[in-house]
């Protein structure tokens, strides 16, 4: 299993981009700069932030104290605190702590913190005041005091209410004493400018550059997103500051549209561009990077020693840096950079080799590192479930099914499940021919719901599933599709008769009287299972399974036309003369023989046998 956490260990050669961002910050020389790290959900923005911080640390040896890092995750505060106030307080508190530790700039840092507290308090007062002005009942302590005061005015207050007035009044006084730290002759506009002045003065006296790393902004609801951006704007473009904002650009623009309802698209873009001076996009992963990423994830979870893992990681990233020259990261390359891999790790390298192209091209994964990790975690969980239930499953088979479940259409996956459920031994017979053609590169005429480019690519993946029992695989995948075999819909008598005919089809004649007693729907299920077994036959003289089918057709005449349709569709070269007398006395035989006479591939002896039977008057 792999945790879904950000990391500063580079598995996909992002270090080059991260180092570029670090160099931009250093070259700014204390001038204000804002950098946007954009990318879709799960592409590695948080890890890029970590790599940028590590890149800066590596470039400032000997003067690491010139930089202070503040990390702010807006998503953590959503629903618990005002994002605008939270950003201000996190920055001010960090500066105050650093000033105290460095014994410089303490007074200015404390002044900044006091002013931030004042803004918090101002917001506490402003909200109830605005509510009263609009005729809306206020909330919190002031709301409670307002409600109690209303009772007193109209004469509806009792002794308990009067006592509560005193308690609530005391609580408000305590809150004001604890939160309100006024600066004489002040106002919000003056305080905002004073905060900016105090902030710059503190940084200058401490001789540092503040680097604020904002993460997970695109996970927030629009109000939180906008509040955070407004707080950032307060400190933005001040000397000795650098802001690195990791967020999906499209989500930020969505928040702006929601906040400024009806605003033109050009203004939405302008709002974003004014905040971000240097836009950086997380590079999308190609097949090489996806293959390397999967292989390094497998290496990380292996029994190799930590120094070996790190050495392999560095060599893989170095190779990725030369992929534009045609250098590859694949199993052959992995064999050249280390010896003595565990056997199970070599097998997983094969898995990465097989899956990387489709993990890159499938739109449902599209090389997304988080989705790849989740896929591998799901695979690991299901293998664990299989071992816990004592089910022998090939990991490669489970991988292929899980990939289909993830990337195939729900209708196609349901059709696959039904094919497995419909088979007596869990073998989806319809896949065998398709897989053979896909591997050979032949054209496939697939009908809905299978008519999907992904399905064609998936069919060509190894291992082939057309001859494998997939019931165990579906059993450990029950959260998406239940394993319901036709036998589950049979009575105990019906299930017993079906089992007996499948095990000894040539003895089916002895069961006819019992078969007649079964309800017609159960006879249909039994014929389904027998025909499913019959499809494996490639020589149709008088196979035992035909005896079982004929007995069922005799017990339930409605099944006869189904057997006739099956026999009519047999490949001509499979039909042998001995089948003609076997079925000639059936009421539907004439229709089958008429088809066989015209079918290509039916040999002359079969046609002569049909003619002879017709001459004898049997047909």
Please give the distance of CA 430 from its chain centroid, rounded to a whole number: 29
Pairing status of strand 209-215 against strand 33-38: unpaired
Q: Omega into 481 within 30° of 0, i.e. cis?
A: no
Q: Mean pLDDT in the chain?
A: 79
pLDDT of 404 above 60: yes
pLDDT of residue 336: 92
- What's the rounded mean pLDDT across residues 552-562? 92
In a domain, 328, yes or no: no
pLDDT of residue 178: 43
Mean pLDDT of 5-17: 76
Q: Does residue 359 fall inside a structural domain? A: no
| pLDDT at residue 548 greater than cutoff 90 | yes
Q: Is the dihedral of CA 533, 539, 544, 546 positive or negative?
A: positive
At what angle are helices 410-422 and 430-440 packed, to 10 degrees? 130
Residue 254 in any domain: the answer is yes
Assess whether pLDDT exceeds 90 at residue 549. yes
Whole-number Å distance between alpha carbons of 250 and 282: 14
pLDDT tens, position by position, 591-609:
999 999 988 889 999 999 8
Domain membership of residue 343 (yes or no) is no
In this prediction, residue 593 carries a pLDDT of 93
∠58-306-378 over CA atoms, to 5°? Answer: 105
* pLDDT at residue 17 tops 60: yes
Q: Which residues pair with 278 in a beta bridge?
A: 35
Sheet containing 33-38, strands listed edge to edge, beginning at the edge strand earlier in sequence: 67-73, 209-215, 241-246, 33-38, 278-281
Is the residue at 499 inside a domain?
yes
Residue 28 counted as domain residue = yes
Distances (CA, A) of 45 to 170, 188, 415: 48, 35, 38
Single residue among 256, 281, 306 that ends a domain in this structure: 281
| pLDDT tens-digit series, residues 131-168 | 443 344 444 444 444 454 444 444 454 555 545 545 54
Nearest to 533 by CA among 556, 549, 550, 557: 549
> For position 194, what pLDDT does the model report?
80
Rounded percentage of the chain residues whose pLDDT exceeds 70: 82
Contact 592, 562 (CB under 8 A): no
Asked if omega into 157 is within 30° of 0 (cis), the reply is no
What is the secondary structure of 88-155 as a DSSP string? HHHHHHHHHHHHHHHTSSHHHHHHHHHHHHHHHHHHHHHHHHHHHHTTPPP-HHHHHHHHHHHHHHHT
Number of domains in the chain: 2
Tell me how far apart the terminal alpha carbons of the chain are, to the nearest angstrom.
67
pLDDT-based confidence at residue 381 (cuts at 50, 70, 90): confident
CA distance 70 to 10: 22
Q: With 90 as the cut, is the pLDDT of residue 551 above it? A: yes
Shortest CA distance to 393 belongs to which of 482, 484, 487, 475? 475
Share of the chain above pLDDT 90, in %: 12
pLDDT score recorded for residue 247: 80
Supply the pLDDT for residue 19.
84
Domain span holding position 498: 493-615
Give tens-digit pLDDT for 268-278.
777 777 778 88
Q: Sign of torsion, CA 356 361 363 367?
A: positive
Q: What is the mean pLDDT of residues 42-46?
A: 78
Q: What is the mean pLDDT of residues 324-330?
A: 86
Of 262, 281, 300, the residue that ends a domain is: 281
Has residue 516 been placed in a domain? yes
Taking only the tens place, the pLDDT of each residue in 94-136 is 888 888 888 888 888 888 888 888 776 665 434 443 344 334 4
How does pLDDT run across 198-228, given as a tens digit for each residue? 888 888 888 888 888 888 777 778 888 887 8
Average pLDDT over residues 428-432: 85
Torsion of CA 130, 134, 137, 139, to 10 degrees: -20
Q: At what angle do helices 492-503 and 520-534 cross, to 10 degrees?
A: 20
Average pLDDT (330-357) is 88
Domain boundary (281, 313, 344) is at 281
388-403 tens-digit pLDDT: 778 888 888 888 888 8
Check residue 133 and give its pLDDT. Answer: 37
Residue 432 located in a structural domain: no
In whole angstroms, what is the distance from residue 208 CA to residue 188 CA?
27
């Amino acid at each position: 299993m792999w945790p879904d956490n950000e990391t500063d260990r580079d598995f996909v050669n992002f270090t080059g981009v991260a180092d570029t961002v670090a160099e931009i910050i250093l070259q700014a020389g204390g001038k204000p700069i804002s950098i946007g790290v954009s990318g879709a959900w799960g592409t590695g923005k948080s890890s890029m932030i970590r790599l940028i911080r590590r890149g800066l640390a590596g470039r400032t040896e000997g003067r690491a104290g010139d930089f202070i890092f503040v990390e702010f995750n807006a998503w953590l505060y959503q629903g618990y605190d005002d994002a605008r106030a939270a950003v201000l307080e996190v920055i001010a508190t960090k500066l105050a702590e650093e000033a105290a530790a460095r014994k410089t700039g303490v007074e200015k840092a404390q002044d900044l913190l006091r002013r931030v507290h004042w803004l918090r308090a101002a917001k506490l007062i402003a909200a109830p005041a605005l509510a009263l002005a609009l005729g809306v009942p206020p909330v919190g302590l002031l709301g409670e005091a307002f409600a109690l005061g209303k009772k007193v005015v109209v004469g509806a207050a009792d002794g308990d209410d009067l006592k509560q007035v005193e308690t609530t009044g005391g609580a408000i006084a305590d809150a004001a004493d604890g939160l309100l730290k006024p600066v004489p002759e002040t106002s919000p506009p003056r305080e905002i400018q004073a905060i900016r002045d105090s902030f710059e003065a503190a940084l200058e006296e401490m001789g540092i550059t503040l680097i604020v790393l904002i993460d997970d902004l695109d996970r927030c609801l629009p109000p939180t997103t906008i509040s955070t951006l407004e707080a950032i704007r307060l400190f933005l473009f001040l000397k000795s500051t650098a802001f690195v904002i990791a967020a999906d650009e499209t989500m930020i623009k969505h928040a702006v549209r929601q906040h400024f309802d009806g605003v033109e698209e050009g203004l939405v873009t302008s709002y974003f561009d004014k905040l971000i001076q240097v836009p950086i996009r997380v590079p999308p992963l190609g097949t090489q990077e996806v293959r390397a990423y999967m292989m390094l994830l497998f290496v990380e979870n292996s029994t190799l020693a930590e120094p070996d893992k790190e050495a392999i990681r560095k060599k893989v990233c170095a190779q990725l840096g030369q992929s534009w020259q045609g250098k590859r990261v694949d199993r052959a390359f992995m064999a050249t950079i280390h010896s003595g891999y565990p056997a199970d790790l070599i097998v997983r390298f094969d898995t990465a080799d097989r899956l990387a192209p489709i993990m890159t091209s499938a739109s449902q994964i599209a090389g997304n590192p988080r989705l790849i990790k989740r896929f591998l975690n799901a695979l690991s969980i299901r293998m664990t479930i299989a071992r816990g239930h004592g089910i022998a499953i090939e990991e490669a088979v489970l991988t292929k099914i899980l990939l289909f479940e993830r990337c195939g259409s729900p209708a196609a996956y349901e059709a696959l499940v039904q094919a497995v459920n419909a088979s007596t031994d869990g073998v989806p017979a319809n896949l065998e021919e398709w897989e053979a053609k896909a591997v050979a590169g032949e054209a496939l005429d697939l009908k809905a719901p299978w008519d999907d480019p992904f399905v064609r690519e998936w069919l060509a993946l190894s291992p082939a599933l057309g001859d494998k029992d997939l019931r165990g695989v579906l059993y450990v995948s029950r959260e998406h599709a239940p394993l319901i075999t036709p036998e589950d819909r049979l009575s105990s008598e019906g299930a017993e008769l079906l089992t007996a005919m499948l095990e000894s089809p040539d003895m089916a004649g002895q069961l006819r009287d019992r078969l007649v007693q079964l309800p017609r729907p159960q006879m249909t299920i039994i014929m389904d299972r027998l025909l499913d077994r019959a499809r494996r036959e490639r020589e149709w003289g008088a196979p035992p399974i035909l005896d079982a089918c004929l007995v069922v057709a005799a017990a339930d005449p409605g099944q006869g036309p189904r057997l006739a349709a099956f026999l009519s569709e047999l490949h001509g070269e499979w039909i042998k003369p001995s089948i003609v007398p076997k079925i000639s006395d059936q009421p539907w035989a004439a229709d089958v023989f008429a088809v066989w006479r015209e079918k290509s591939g039916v040999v002359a002896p079969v046609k002569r046998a049909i003619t002879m039977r017709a001459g004898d008057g049997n047909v």
